[in-house]
Amino acid sequence: MSGTEKWSDLTARVGSALAMVVVGAAGIWFGGHVFHVLVAVICGLMVWELVSIVRPTQERRLQVLLGGLTAAAVLVSVYLPAGFALPLLLAPALLGFGQLERNRTVFMIFTVMILLSGFGLMQVRDDMGVGWMLWLVMVVIVTDVVGYFAGRAFGGPKFWPAVSPKKTWSGTAAGWVGAGLVGLIFSINTGLGLQLIGVSIAISMASQMGDIAESAMKRKMGVKDSSNLIPGHGGLMDRFDGMLGASVFLLIIGQFIGFPPGLG
């Protein structure tokens, strides 16, 4: 691969990334209803993409229906007590499972991840504030960006060439280092101690697992991108797959380590 080919998609990726950063930063800053709606729309569009991937040759009505129901479920769930929110969050996955004729398990697993991820992101912003939301986003973004540049600059052995031909071990490890540095900066600013470095690296690994899972699913389905909504990035699932893994993982470990106060 020539030097030009290595960076051929950089302009489109940077432009789209900047637009997403602006929209995302505004949503995080305003919080509340604005952030809830933004997260719900993103989750709905990801399920819209997912239906297209697992059922590409059939009518679009189900695609729109399940995407819309997912967005509604995510949005309403944050305003309900947890006991009522949980069954609502699982309903779109079960409904789609009953409607699809094939790839049901793939759809159900990824839809549950999307729904829980959206709920987790809203909980982080509502309960922990802007600072911790930014920490989570920065860990995921730094993991992706540092891994992208390091992988293309250093190359080396492939991580899983059969599923993700461009992903290298150098980029993967560089993502952990970048996430650890984010954790170090936040640990200094918050006084929570150096455990936050380890948590940040674990979140980085979880985001990479989300990326790998989505890549494996697309390869199984025989598609390159989840959609063409974002120039240079493919679809929303292609861009937010890391956030899926990271936010679901944080939602789970928060129950065990009492994040963030328990880290002190």
Those residues with Cβ within 8 angstroms of residue 6's Cβ, 6 or more apart along the chain or in another chain:
152
E strand residue ranges, 37-172: 158-160, 164-168
Instruction: State both tokens at 221.
Output: 């389905």
Residue 101: which H helix or E strand, with range?
none
pLDDT beyond 50 at 264: no
What is the predicted pLDDT for the residue at 93? Answer: 95
State pLDDT tens for residues 83-131: 899 999 999 999 999 888 888 999 999 999 999 999 999 999 999 899 9
pLDDT beyond 60 at 232: yes
Its pTM stands at 0.87
The mean pLDDT of 18-42, rounded to a whole number, is 92
